[in-house]
Structures are given as structure tokens and as C-alpha cells.
Amino acid sequence: MILFCVGMLLAGCAVPSTQPRKSAPVSSTAPTYQPAVTLGTPSVLTELEPAPQTPAKPAPAKKATPKPDKIVRVLLLEEGKSAYVKHSGRVNIYTQDGSKKYKISAAGTVSIKTHRNNQVQAGTLVAAQPIIIEPVGGTILEWDKNKYTGKFVVLPGKTFMLLEYVPLEQYLYGVLPYEMHHTWALEALKAQAVAARTYTLKSIEKKVEEPFDLYNDVRSQVYKGGGQVYDNVKQAVDQTRGEVLSYKGELFFTYYHGNCGGATDHVQIWNKKAPNIKPLSGATCKFDSHSKSYNFKQDLSNAA
């Protein structure tokens, strides 16, 4: 059962049944996520000075430079043998170490497939190391009928992994409308944005040594790319930028679901090592009976 309830449509954050294959992740250069900017303390004069004859012209206010988003590594395809990635415009394709690279200057399709000796081929590039497909100048990548704004990373092996590296807030644009209907009230979408952002950052924190941070389905959060962004979803994400949930100064996994069935149980029913904290200790749900999935029937007469 899932413990943090904000009235979602799709169940998220299930515990994955398999451990991800170990593979050297592509390094990310994104700095630590710091949504808030602390302004410096103004200096204090220690001696009185004569007032100037003419008022001093005030110095122009300095604008705080926004910190870049954390980069989220989303697993799109786990055991790939072949895949086709469409691109709406220019792309750069190169190996992780930059030793092999080439550019495509027009829209088209990049073929990805396994190669001998645990190598992978993307377009004309063959390597035994990660290959990056990077969109240039607003190019959109498309795979499995979903559109993406981040760069694709292909991890080689007997089969390959296809990942998207995407900034956090862009990632949330592609989560919200698939975990809550995009026509719902703005405040509900904002609550979902805070829950999803917290869950994402906690996952990044826990998956540093893994090749990816999140699945693109209910094992983590449903994500179908940020290529199509609804106005009210963007508004909800933008207006809550930097807002997360914490308990005693620490982020925690903000599990959520479509319907709690009347109540949730303690998080330790999943994992005995999970933190014993009040936000994850279970709660009664008062509004779940309004959901179409509150009552259901299952015929077990023919069950094996």
C-alpha cells in the first residue's frame, strides 16, 4: 500500500522487482540543485561621513543568476536490441570520451542496434562505450511515439539501455499530465508537482552509483517526455520551482497513488529498512470513494 496521498490518477513509485544492471553511468556536469538564492548581507558603516552635495546615483541592481537544474537520468528502454529515434532537426552523435563523433544537419531517423563484442551502433557510430545523441537548436527527439527534449544516452552491452538525460523541471513537465489529468485544478497540479519533484530528487540521491535514476513507468513515475507541454502543467511546475517536502530537514520518498482504498499502511510493510517517520506511517483517505476505481469486481472462479 502506498502512503503519501495527493489524489493521483495513476499509481506510481512501486518497488522495482529487478535490480538494474550495473554499468558505468555517463558523467553529468550539472551542479547541485539549489532552487533558492541567498542574498548577501549589506555592509554597515562604522564611521559617520559628510553627506554628499548631490545624491549618489544608485548602482544598478544585480540579477541573481538562476542555478541550472539537476539532470535526471530516465530509463526509456532496458534490454534493447534495436530502436529507431526520429529527430526533427540537427543532432550531434558522439562517444562518451569524444573520440568518435559526427553531425546530422537535417531531420531524419537514427537507428540503434546491438553490435558484436558487446558494442552498440548508433547511426554510423560503433563503440563499446556509451554513445550520446544530442539534439541541437531546439530539435525534438521522438521514440516510441513520445517526444523528448533531453539528450539520449545509449549504454552498450549484450543488450543496450536507452536513457534520456533531461533537466529536472523539464522532466516534471512530462510526468504531471500522466500522473494527474492535466485539466485538474491548478492547486492540485501544484501539489502533484511538489510530490513528484521530491520523489525525483530523493531517487537521484539514492541512485548515484546506478546507471539511471528513474524508470519511465509505474515502477517510479510515469513519464512520456517533455516534447508536449500543457500550459497549466507548466504553470504548476514553474510556480512551485524549488519546492520540496522534507522531514526534519531531509527529503523522503513521497509515494503517491491513484486510489488508497480507504487508508494507507506504514511504509515498512514494503521495506523493513525504510525510515520510520510520521509522513510515511499511514493515513486515512476521505475522498477516495469519489474515484471510479474505488469499487471493482474480480472473478476468481477460473483462477489457477
- List the end-to-end C-alpha distance of the chain, in Å, as a whole number: 25
Each residue's pLDDT tens digit, 262-272: 777 777 777 77
pTM score:
0.75
**So where are the chain's domains?**
1-16+167-293, 82-158
- Best CA proximity match to 154, nearest among 207, 195, 100, 105: 100
- Predicted confidence band of residue 148 (pLDDT cuts 50, 70, 90): very high
Q: What is the pLDDT of residue 286?
A: 77
- Best CA proximity match to 193, nearest among 174, 220, 218: 174
Each residue's pLDDT tens digit, 203-230: 999 999 999 999 999 999 999 999 889 9
- Whole-number Å distance between alpha carbons of 120 and 86: 18
Q: Cα–Cα–Cα angle for 43, 45, 47, nearest 5°?
A: 160
Q: What is the pLDDT of residue 41?
A: 33
- Predicted confidence band of residue 283 (pLDDT cuts 50, 70, 90): confident
Each residue's pLDDT tens digit, 10-64: 334 433 334 444 444 444 444 344 343 332 333 333 333 444 555 556 666 555 5
pLDDT (average), residues 241-257:
90
SS3 content of the chain, % helix, strand, coil (to 5): 15, 25, 60
Q: Are 158 and 113 in contact (CB under 8 A)?
A: no
Question: How many residues does this entry show for the chain?
Answer: 304
Residue 64: Cβ within 10 Å count? 10
- Whole-number Å distance between alpha carbons of 56 and 54: 6
Q: What is the pLDDT of residue 36?
A: 34
- Best CA proximity match to 254, nearest among 241, 267, 265, 242: 267
Residue 130: Cβ within 10 Å count? 24
